[in-house]
Amino acid sequence: MTTQHLDPQNGDAEAPPSFWEIHSRQIFIVALFVVIFFAVRLTLKPINVIDYGVRINAIHAFLNGQSPYTVDGFYEPPWCIFIILPLGGQPLETWLALTVAFFVAETVDLGKPSGLVQLAHPLFITLLVSSNPEWIYLGPGLWLLYRTPKGWGRGLAWLFLTCKPQTTFFLLIFDGIAALRQRDWKAFALAGSAAVVSWFLFPDWIARLSIRMYVDWSGSVIYHYTVIGAIIVTVVILAIRWRRLGDLKTLGLILAPVWSPYTLEYSCVSLLFTLRKAGWLRNIVYLVCGLALVAVFWRDYHVSEHIAILGMILLAAIFAPNNDLKPDEETPAVEVNPQPIAEVS
């Protein structure tokens, strides 16, 4: 049975939308991802290879029949090794290109082009310099969570996001509660079964995790200002975002570096993601403030970074919009001087 599209003006049959008209946005996002990936892959040169080297050694250990936790410095949950396994033979340039491509493509897809100014933010530059695969995990994870908020896609998103629990634990708690209320058993089944199987394969992760709980430095608020300081900052954030508290995912990303026991500088790149729907003014102001904080953020190693991180957290709370609103809900139309409808007798 063929459905005809009628022209409302004259009733003539109208041709159905073409493939391009239906999928033009998806094709554009894929093309953008590919172009950015190759542009960065051919131009960006790595500076530091330490974190990259840890993951490569963990992959090699896995392929040689050993536990990835025999490698010093590998702390991610056991299922994460399967996520980065396809990148085991790739140079660091490929990992960095994926980091940039994911950030650019999902910012344009889920937000506005104005969010791309954050590519120049000290947090994002620090991530690239660190060679850490933070956004190779979180980029696809957040993208999946927003594009497939229920079912198998949500479960897969959880697996990506739990690779960096120090950045996403509040978001995952909020979304997990929502999934329970929605009875989204598919998400729990996928994430739970994958976690149990990989955990069974590498039970030594628990021992490695216990080591990670003892940290000698963290950029989080709770580490430097104790629980009292974290409570005060949380109250301030809740007060700032009082009219935007319905956006629990954004709130979760902002609260994570307040309460996380282990947060490094590049772990706060998720703050930049919360501004993806903000306009040019708010993004530029946030970027300028971030550049102004460079004096303490890059001053010395593990001396004053936490001061800059606290400033970036509070600024994100101020400037990040309600990212759960649709574009047509951000500026609701207001009817001015409505004319009364005449009664028909």
Q: Is the pLDDT of residue 119 over 60?
A: yes
CA angle 239, 107, 22 (to 5 degrees): 125
On the question of pLDDT at 341 being above 70, the answer is: no
Distance CA 121, CA 283 (A): 10
The pLDDT, as a whole number, for residue 179 is 97
Per the CB < 8 A criterion, the answer to whether 80 and 164 are in contact is no
Q: Which helix (H) or strand (E) holds 6?
A: strand 5-6
Count other C-beta atoms under 10 Å from residue 309's C-beta.
27
pLDDT in tens, 44-91: 999 999 999 999 999 999 999 999 999 998 999 999 999 999 999 999
Q: Please give the pLDDT value at position 1.
A: 46
H/E stretch holding 120 reads none
End-to-end Cα, the chain, rounded Å: 45
pLDDT recorded at residue 339: 45
The pLDDT of residue 235 is above 60: yes
pLDDT at 334 (0 to 100):
36
Query: Which run of H or of E encompasses 21?
Result: helix 19-43
Q: Which residue in this structure is represented by tokens 């009733």?
A: 11
What is residue 217's predicted lDDT score, i.e. its pLDDT?
Answer: 85
Distance CA 104, CA 116 (A): 6
163-195 per-position pLDDT tens digit: 999 999 999 999 999 999 999 999 999 999 999
Confidence of residue 345 (pLDDT cuts 50, 70, 90): very low
Pair 83, 77: CB distance under 8 Å: no
d(CA 61, CA 234): 41
> If you average pLDDT over every residue of the chain, what do you get?
89
The pTM of this model reads: 0.88
Question: Can you tell me the distance from the alpha carbon of 100 to that of 139, in angstroms, rounded to the nearest whole number?
Answer: 9
Q: Whole-angstrom Cα distance, residue 125 to residue 129?
A: 6
* 12 or 39, higher pLDDT: 39
pLDDT at residue 316, as a whole number? 97
